[in-house]
Amino acid sequence: MESTHARMVGALVGVALGLAAGGIAPPAHAVGEDTAPTTRKPTDPDYLAGKKAVEAGNWQAAIDAFTRAAARDKANPDIQNYLGYSYRKAGNLDTAFKHYTVALELAPDHRGAHEYIGEAYLMKGDLKMAKRHLAALDRICLFGCEEYRELKKAVAAYEQNKR
């Protein structure tokens, strides 16, 4: 008798192959966003301004815009992840960790937040915690995902540099 897991995997593979055969590609993944559906409001002007600021590498403008967006949408894990990302890029790891933690409390399987908090732990020198988030991504990404590959690459580079 086929297991539930095996049937689910088979069904997912069938759907993926069907989409690929039909020329339908999955949506592109933007920095900071999880590819899983969320209830975020992408038309929020501050959210959009924050994304533009991230793309431009203007971390303070991103922080300001996402902070305003978060004040209106406190339960949005993508906004919290973007805040963590922006604070990390601005050099404020402590505040970055707070926002990544909130993103993961709101959405425990948020791939982007796991990748970025793992990278933040590497910046802090905490390989054990980075590997914990890599393991979470390995569990979340049934067939692998960009976030898993990126964090795995960062962990490998960190380990190579420590030798």
**146 within a domain of the structure (yes/no):** yes
Q: Are 154 and 119 in contact (CB under 8 A)?
A: yes
**Domain with 100 in it:** 32-162
Global pTM exceeds 0.85: no
**25 within a domain of the structure (yes/no):** no
**5 within a domain of the structure (yes/no):** no
Q: Are 77 and 34 in contact (CB under 8 A)?
A: yes
Number of structural domains found in the chain: 1
Two tokens at 74? 């406190």
**43 within a domain of the structure (yes/no):** yes
Q: Are 93 and 123 in contact (CB under 8 A)?
A: yes
Interval 12-55: pLDDT, tens = 434 343 333 333 333 334 555 654 444 444 589 999 999 999 99
**71 within a domain of the structure (yes/no):** yes
**12 within a domain of the structure (yes/no):** no
**82 within a domain of the structure (yes/no):** yes
Interval 80-139: pLDDT, tens = 999 999 999 999 999 999 999 999 999 999 999 999 999 999 999 999 999 999 999 999
**23 within a domain of the structure (yes/no):** no
CATH code for the domain in which residue 36 is found: 1.25.40.10
Scanning the structure block, which residue is given the tokens 């992840």? Answer: 81
Residue 139 burial (C-beta neighbours within 10 Å; 0-12, 13-18, 19+)? exposed
Residue 49 burial (C-beta neighbours within 10 Å; 0-12, 13-18, 19+)? middle
CB burial string 17-43: b at 16+ within 10 A, e below: eeeeeeeeeeeeeeebbbbeebebeee
Max CA pair span of the chain: 57
SS3 state at 150: helix
What pLDDT is stored for residue 30 in this prediction?
54
